[in-house]
Structure 1
Amino acid sequence: MFLIDVVLINFLGLFGTYFLYQLIEQFIPPKDNRLLQLLLFFIIFCSITLPIYPNDLLSVFVMFLLFLLSLLLLLKGPVIHKISLVLSLYPFIVSLNFLLEDIGLKIWQANGEGVVLDYLLHGAAHFLRGLVWFAMYQFFRYAIPYSKTQITTKLWLIIDFICLTPLIAMISFIAFTPSITWRVYPASLACILTSFCSLYMTGHVAKSFRYKLENQNLQLQKDYYQELEGNQKQLRKIHHDMNNHFSVMLNLIREEQPEKAESYLASLTEQHILANHIFCKNSIVNAVLNAKYQLMQDYQIKCSLQLDIDTLITIDDIDLCSLFGNTLDNAIEAARQTTNKEITMKARYYNGFFSYEIINTKKHQLKNRGSRFFSTKAQPQKHGIGLQAVRSIVESYDGTLDISYDDEQFSLVVLISDI
């Protein structure tokens, strides 16, 4: 009977475990192995059901190491994302467990220390944890996914330092809990609030960057459709004037003036070149590529753009536009300063793989520090930001980024799989 009661009480802990697992999965997907996913679920279950007692530093420290290692080893994505997730969630877990366990202990002691009451209190504690993690999942699940691609490494480090405060504070409170434990409750609640605000700030910053990119892309779409409308008017005008143009050229030919006819035709063609191109069926991506293509024409850069991504479903449109936009901006910046101005870009989605390659001519020597490259831009603070954004996007989809260069060319290759 005792064993059955324990199993039933712990079964309630699966409620909170499920929603915390879902929250983590929204932030960073687990590795594609069912056994590893079950192992991660079990470690999460142990973490949120572990009772935290006053002066119980060993349990807190051991569980922290286990929680950290499990997320580092069992999740995909960059290490900085995993560490940030641990630092955001673990103080919340510890503080919540300590409060529920200590309050439950005081209620149990005040009411006769009965066995039935003990079961009820532990069951209630698991149920409350479940409600808390359900609320956390519902609150953050729409904002957290954007943080993978929209937040830079430097900003992640700032968030991590902020999250260290509740972590160190809570470990200190557990290690040196006073005899009157309720005096620690305000500090525990403050740690919960700080962790919650850290997650909220992460999601808010990511969504702000996301909205900025969406607004930029919407503006590009607006410009693109305005140009399409202008082209339609131009076509109607050409159609209306076509008979007159044909008459002029026919008379020039009849009068045996082929040079004038050729010159007239060339002038007519130059006047009515349509600015828009259909690079792919995705209107947002097409708008971005049209803007960059026009920029290359303005700088007289010889360009070749080959795309076959009409069935692409792996990558979010905003991330895809950021990938194209940042890499093309860097390529244009470098190529326009060379004598042999040239850019070649290829993008393809085939058999579950997205491949992207862009090659441009360059003039200046590149400098790099670690994974960061320094461009020829005048403002030092803007060096390498585009490539950092691209690297962040690629890592968030668990893809690969390869950069190579010599004295005359710069090459960037991206490979992302949805298998």
Structure 2
Amino acid sequence: MLFLECFGNLILPFICSCIIYGIFRDCLSLRNSRAVRVFFFIVLFILSYPVVLPGETTATLGIFVFLYLSVLLFFTDRFIVKTAVVLILYPVWMSFYYLDYNAGYIVWVYVFGRDMPVFWENAMIAFLAAFKIPFLIFIHRLVGKWLKPDEMNLPWNVWAMISIVSLASFFGIITLIFQVDEPGTYIIWPACIACILTNMGICYICSFIARSVRISMEADIMRTQQSYYADLKRERNEIYALRHDMKNHLSIIQSLVKHDEKKQTEEYLSGLLREFSSSLKRFCENETVNALLNAKYRTASEKNIECDFMVELPGDPGIDIVRLCAVIANTLDNAIEGSCRIEDSGRRKVTVKGRYTDSSFSYFIENNISAEPAGSEGDFKTTKKDTKLHGYGMGIIRDMVSAMNGTAEIKCDDSRFSVTVFIPVKSQESVYDL
């Protein structure tokens, strides 16, 4: 008897708390503090064993509010992401706990006629409660696979829609639990199962959308690299051809010098140097970013935009290179777009600076503008007709930076527009884990 009570009141809640703690750690970024982690685990231990009773929702809603406030306080992710994760996970947790508890209640009422020895009653409760462990482990594996924070690069409006759908599922099951009466408490079991399947389906959809977004960004980078290497091959062939004709060029120069044609000699040498000079530049050591900068530099040059690029970035920077390229590409697209609206081509200028240290990468881009862009609170959007195929609004760029645990600052006045991005470099040092 004592063992059953200890198992049901201490051991089982502790195991469930550990699993739920792992679920939230897999979905969100917990603050890097041992005290915060211990306190959050204590909160989960207190909340880990809610008894969801038919016709009673006060405790269920109270636990939801307390859990939601704890997640908002202890995790560093965006507000909308934390909201969506809680609204996805808590209804799953609550629905299964109702099924588990109500199954025991049905056995107690219909099999034993409400007359069951205390020992066997405690044994049945412990047996049914033990099913929470494999269920939570199963949810942990699915969530860890589908809601990886490093891959959840979704815009704000997508997270908002996910939150609304999950909230509808939550209020739907809460309403049914509140309205169901004895003895037919089992009639809402299908609704509980549907709630679990719906929210797990939402997790899968999140993963599918995130993978699609990332594949699209990787494809853009690959196309940029292919274009860069094609230009390298073309220029290499041109240089080989020039070297093959070097004897003829030297003979012409020798003839011009012999006849003291100084001006013609200088013009001929200048033209020859222009042919030898490469249009491809080495902006940084990272090949992917360098290819991207060359592509944008060429685009800007074709539109008579002066470019000043100075970027320090090694080959392996410890940063998500796909997201970094997306940020650089879209800020450059927006800068080129803004510069093209300036009628005076002499004022068209884009400046890019990047500085890399062992702990962070800072990125700065500035361009002249004709007038202050339309927008509110720094959320400036592209004016291109096809926003799906061209640059992102600054709001989504903020989301990309935030996904790398970085910050973005936007400034704008009557003549200049600038974006400053700060991204921490992944540390190889170990972190405290419970």
With the length of structure 2 as denominator, give the TM-score of the two structures.
0.88
1:226 corresponds to which of 230, 242, 249: 230
Q: Please tell me the root mean square deviation across aligned C-alpha atoms, in Å.
A: 2.5
Q: Does 1:386 align with 2:390?
A: no
Q: Which of the residues 264, 279, 283 maps onto 1:279?
A: 283
Q: Which residue of 1 aligns with 2:59?
A: 59
Does 2:38 correspond to 1:38? yes
State the secondary structure of the residue aligned to 2:393. Answer: helix
The residue identity in structure 2 corresponding to 1:367 is A
- How many matched pairs? 418
Q: Which structure: greater helix fraction?
A: 1
Q: For residue 163 of structure 1, what is the aligned residue in structure 2? A: 166
Matched, 1:413 2:420: yes
Cα shift at 1:312: 5.8
User: Are the structure 2 counterparts of residues 271 and 192 from structure 1 closer, same or farther at C-alpha, using a change threshold of 3 Å?
Assistant: same
Provide the residue aligned with 1:107 in structure 2.
Answer: 107
Q: 2:312 aligns with which of 298, 302, 308?
A: 308
1:394 CA drift (Å): 2.0
Q: Structure 2: where are the runs of 5+ without partners?
A: 428-434
State the SS of the aligned residue for 1:354: strand
> Which moved further from structure 2: 156-165 or 219-228?
219-228
- Distance in 2 between the 1:282 and 1:126 partners? 54
Q: Is the 8 A contact 1:16 1:126 kept in 2?
A: no
The answer on whether the counterparts of 1:148 and 1:393 sit within 8 Å (CA) in structure 2 is no
What is the one-letter code of the residue matched to 2:190? Answer: P
What is the distance in 1 between the residues matched to 2:143 and 2:317? 24
Q: In the alignment, is residue 317 of structure 1 matched against residue 316 of structure 2?
A: no
Query: Which residue identity does 1:82 align to in structure 2?
Result: K
Task: State the 1:25 CA deviation.
Answer: 2.3
In 1, Cα distance between the equivalents of 2:254 and 2:285? 39
Quote the offset at 1:378 in angstroms: 4.3
Quick check: 115-124 or 388-397, which moved more? 115-124
Alpha-carbon displacement from aligned partner over 1:171-201 (angstroms, at most 9, x marks no partner): 1122122211110101111111111111111
1:403 aligns with 2:407: no
Query: Cα offset for 1:231?
Result: 2.9
CA deviation profile, 1:351-391 (whole Å, cap 9, x unmatched): 41221111111112222223422444346889983312210
Alpha-carbon offset, residue 120 of structure 1: 4.3
Which residue of 1 is the match for residue 76 of structure 2? Answer: 76
Provide the C-alpha distance between the structure 2 equivalents of 1:256 and 1:149, rounded to a whole number of angstroms.
Answer: 70
Quote the offset at 1:75 in angstroms: 0.4
Name 1:8's counterpart in structure 2. 7
Distance verdict in 2 for CA 1:230–1:21, change over 3 Å:
farther
Aligned counterpart, 2:371: 364
Q: Name the SS for the 2:97 alignment partner.
A: helix
Confirm or deny: 8 A CA contact 1:373 1:383 kept in the other structure: no
Q: Structure 1 stretch 141-150 or stretch 53-62: which is displaced more?
A: 141-150
Q: CA deviation at 1:160?
A: 1.3
The equivalent residue for 2:354 is 347
% identity of equivalent residues: 26
**Partner secondary structure for residue 253 of structure 1:** helix
Q: 1:16 to 1:287 in 2, by over 3 A?
A: farther
Deviation at 1:145, TM superposition (A): 2.8
Residue 150 of structure 1 aligns to a residue in which SS?
coil
Secondary structure of 2:216's counterpart equals helix
Q: Which runs of 5+ in 1 are unaligned?
A: none
1:62 deviates by: 0.8
Question: Is 1:326–2:330 an aligned residue pair?
Answer: yes
Alignment partners' CA distance in 2, 1:279 and 1:63: 54
Residue by residue, what CA displacement relative to the aligned partner does 1:262-302 show, whole Å, maximum 9, x if unpaired?
22222223334323323233332222212111111111211
Query: What is the match of residue 175 of structure 1?
Result: 178
Whether the aligned pair in 1 keeps the contact of 2:374 and 2:381 (CA below 8 Å) is: yes
- How far off is 1:123 after superposition? 4.2
User: Contact 1:146/1:206 (CA < 8 Å) preserved in 2?
Assistant: no
In 2, Cα distance between equivalents of 1:417 and 1:402: 15
TM-score (norm 1): 0.91
More deviation in 330-339 or 92-101?
A: 330-339
CA separation in 1, counterparts of 2:53 and 2:316? 52
Structural mapping, 1:215-294, within 5 Å: 215-294=219-298
Contact residue 17 and residue 130 of structure 1 kept, 8 A: no
Give, in whole Å, the separation in 2 of the partners of 1:22 and 1:234.
58
Query: Which residue in the other structure is 1:198 paired with?
Result: 202
SS in structure 1 of the partner of residue 361 of structure 2:
strand
Match of 1:346, SS?
Answer: strand
Q: Letter of the 1:160 partner, please give it.
A: S
Listed one character per residue, the Cα deviations across residues 42-73 of structure 1 (whole Å, up to 9, x for unaligned) are: 33344443221212311101101011101111
Provide the rounded CA distance (Å) in 2 between the counterparts of 1:120 and 1:219: 63
1:132 corresponds in structure 2 to: 135
